[in-house]
Amino acid sequence: MFSAFLIKYGEIGIKGKNRYLFEEALVHQIKYALSRIDGEFEVKVNQGRVYVEALSDFDFDDAVTELKTVFGIVGICPVVYVEDEGIERLAEVVCDYMKKTYPDSDKSFNAVSGRSAEEPAGFEASKKSGRITTFKVAARRARKSYPLDSMEINAYLGEKILDVMPNMRVDVHKPDITLTVEVREKIYIYSEIIKGPGGMPIGTNGKGTLLLSGGIDSPVAGYMVSKRGVWIDAVYFHAPPYTSERAKQKVVDLARKISRYTGTIHLKVVNFTDIQMYIYEKCPHDELTIIMRRYMMRIAEHFAREGGSMGLITGESIGQVASQTMQSLLTTNAVCTLPVYRPLIAFDKMDIIKVAESIDTYETSILPYEDCCTIFVAKHPVTKPVLERIEKSELKLSEDIDRLLKEAIDTTETIVVRYV
């Protein structure tokens, strides 16, 4: 029945030129989301509104599922639109719309009249409590030349609806159903709002570089930051032959899963083995993890600057493991010159898992493939590293580390990941 969607988005802070950029980014992401389903769509901005019009048959549920992945969308309104062929014809379409959208509203469930102040509005709520369903028509005339004004349209259509749905009532103050009729070039009819993900469209807040491992946390961290409109690049540290091809594939799969929301991700796969071996050879083993993490940050920062990112993103959370105590974070952070965004910093694992499940990364994250950090990990890593001591240990690497860093950077593979 529906042939279009009206997209509602948050309007805070999007005035003037920003509004144009915001809408352009939103349209871009909507097209990306809908390219994944069968059907042809046109996405357009018209007088401060974004419309998606179907140019062919399409699956309604699929379209809604994909639109729900577009950050910036607050509400998705399924729309029926008609050519303007006079008010009588419009009334027919509107009545048909109401009967189809709210079937059974004339059945015995709505025997009780009135809704108490605490009771929620909505058709389903009215059905549940067995009271009468109320509605109002809210006409809006963007085209002022239309022969009737909005009050007249409301009255005319309201009456026609009551004729075909005698068990509904009009309530202009707190209706269960608000039927919006927008008179533009065509006439748009809608009454339902499906909740969108919120956030800001990708690309409206620059770019960040995600340190993406195969774990549970980092995909969630990337998803969360990108929800604020941040475009994501990713870096993965790979240690063949200690870590396998399938461990790498798992990271590619995770990048792919989050790219459903974030858009295209350029994933850098850094060969970290030689650096890890060198640290293992030269430095105290209980400091391995911390020193390794400092080199990860340095390399990630190199790629971040090269790719125009304005910050690093990690899945770190205070106290989760030895390398994430406050002292460890301080020591790791000391090598960074870009801001490091850690959206999970105060999250409990259970809450991180909930998000991972909701974005469908959890099942992939828990596949039991080896991680480059766990292979060289000491039995008793330092939990309270002292920065000066770590810096001193790193001096033992001075002979070869620059060459190894350059080699790691030069041999890095870039994989372009897209959700299609």
Beta-sheet strand order (sheet of 265-271): 340-341, 312-313, 207-211, 231-238, 265-271, 413-417
Write the CB contacts of 225 (distance below 8 Å, at least 6 apart in sequence): 208, 210, 232, 313, 341, 343
> Of 123, 129, 138, 127, whose CA–CA distance to 176 is shortest?
123
Residue 372 is which amino acid? C
Does 314 contact Mg ion by CB under 5 A?
no
Does 290 contact ligand ATP by CB under 6 A?
no
Residue 51 interacts, among Mg ion, ligand ATP, none and using kind-specific CB cut-offs from 5 to 8 Å, with none
Q: Report the distance separating Cα 209 and Cα 199, nearest Å.
A: 19
Residue 76 interacts, among Mg ion, ligand ATP, none and using kind-specific CB cut-offs from 5 to 8 Å, with none
Q: Report the distance separating Cα 356 and Cα 223, nearest Å.
A: 9
Does 258 contact ligand ATP by CB under 6 A?
no
- Cβ contact 215:243 at 8 Å: no
When the beta carbons of 69 and 213 are compared against Mg ion, the nearer one is 213
> Of 192, 142, 200, 183, whose CA–CA distance to 23 is shortest?
200
Does 273 contact ligand ATP by CB under 6 A?
no
Does 372 contact ligand ATP by CB under 6 A?
yes
Q: Which span (154-162, 181-189, 318-326, 395-403) binds ligand ATP, by CB under 6 A?
A: 318-326
Does 236 contact ligand ATP by CB under 6 A?
yes
Give the contact letters, 194-213, x = binds to Mg ion (CB under 5 A), - = no: -------------------x
215-254: which residues touch Mg ion (CB under 5 A)? 215
When the beta carbons of 213 and 393 are compared against ligand ATP, the nearer one is 213
Contact residue for ligand ATP among 154, 209, 259, 324 (CB under 6 A):
324
Does 193 contact ligand ATP by CB under 6 A?
no
Q: Which span (64-72, 118-126, 162-170, 313-321) binds ligand ATP, by CB under 6 A?
A: 313-321
- Cβ contact 136:170 at 8 Å: yes
Write the CB contacts of 43 (distance below 8 Å, at least 6 apart in sequence): 27, 30, 31, 34, 50, 51, 52, 53
Residues that bind Mg ion (CB under 5 A): 213, 215
* Residues of the shown chain interacting with ligand ATP in the complex, contacts defined by CB under 6 A: 211-213, 215-218, 235-237, 314-316, 320-321, 323-324, 372-373
